[in-house]
Chain A
Amino acid sequence: MAGISLRKLRKTFGTLTVVHDIDLEIADKEFIILVGPSGCGKSTTLRMIAGLEDISSGDLVIGDTIVNDVPPKNRDIAMVFQNYALYPHMTVYKNMAFGLELRHSPREIIDKKVNEAAEILDIAHLLNRRPKALSGGQRQRVALGRAMVRSPAVFLLDEPLSNLDAKLRTAMRAEITKLHRKLDATFIYVTHDQVEAMTMADRIVVMKDGHIHQVDTPQALYDRPVNMFVAGFIGAPQMNFFPVAVARGGTSVRFGDRELPLPARLSEALPPGSADRACMLGLRPEHFHERLPVDVDPAMTAEMDMEVELAEPMGAELHLNGVLGGETVIARVSPRCQARAGDRITLIADLSSAHLFDKKTEAAFGN
């Protein structure tokens, strides 16, 4: 009903193209998150969907109508801004009722909807206050409430949590997820925080430099990144990369003077004639172990020495920052590990979970 299609959507400012002909199908009632570093075009894409930016070329389809030239108010959307954009001279009630009043809704309906939304968001006691008298979290709720009262088919959220402190952000994350389930509407959410993306989204769209790199569910993105950018962007601490060369007909790679085994799914994915091909081997921090885990094939591991430069205890785990074979790496190990800064320890790398990328194209093999 309110599925959204982006068809070769492009945005240019003068000679600068910030969104390059992106295609994206968003299903009705889906929670989709656009994620990427600053300047990747994710906010511009959202603003094009909202109708706040003109579309330079391509089509934007909501439901089954092309809405390129439909003004924002007729697109059946609501938007929550990063800095909330509450109307400072109106009370919370007025802020929430403004959109309905412009649509000449009857007074009782406005009253009912505002009170309902306030009840859901737990801001009923704030209705007579001005935004100035609210905390950041409360303002955020009011902004959400203002979007809710119009019952739009699509919610657009532009980094709505980035102005909140860490604790509140975690709480609001859960609330927005619940809200999505309750409201039964399409959510399009923009963030640069991959944790938000991983925890909330049905599907994540990873963008960079105006291109979509990968669209998939959070777990699939994590397990099967299509290129080095996605692999590095999703997951914290981020994936470690090692420059390697393909050896032994693809069954192993050379890393410095060592040889590391390659799992079958990677060796099979290597195209013929890949001998000595320069690649990047990707290993996530949790694929380093102090001792061999029971469920890992010992043939698919390699012992590697690491000089620890910094040990960050996180409570449930320990992050070791250091140098391994000349490369800076982060390993995530059990908090029982006694290694501290300056130590030299031997870690077991689990290569069965490794990723392999072409060094030139940065594209992944074996996905």
Chain B
Amino acid sequence: MSRFAYVGVLAFVVIGTGWLEVALRTRVYARWRRLLAALVPVVVLFCLWDLYAIAAGHWTFDPERTTGVLLPGGLPLDEVLFFVVVPVAAVLTLEAVRSVKRWEVGDEPAGSCVDGVRVDDEDGA
């Protein structure tokens, strides 16, 4: 079981943010093409950072409490999953705040926000 300690923490993050998609209608998973397009550069860049850090000895992983699946360069699968799970959680949190507050995020067309709050009646409904 302890091999799943790291991915267990990631599962906690997925579950801890997943309810936002339903309760606050964040529509992040629903817009999976946009999500995927945002994720790809993030995963690539941070895996490269991780590979450098591993090669330079900046950090090491407990082999007893990670899955033990190592990608080339000694990159644990757990780390790759981290770079997917955490960015998704970040987008869910941003969209959760937008859902509740209607605050301007920066992707709205001109004229749809007044004093930093969206005033059009567009939503997913």
**A and B: bona fide binding partners:** no
Chain B residues with CB under 8 Å of chain A are none
Chain A residues with CB under 8 Å of chain B are none
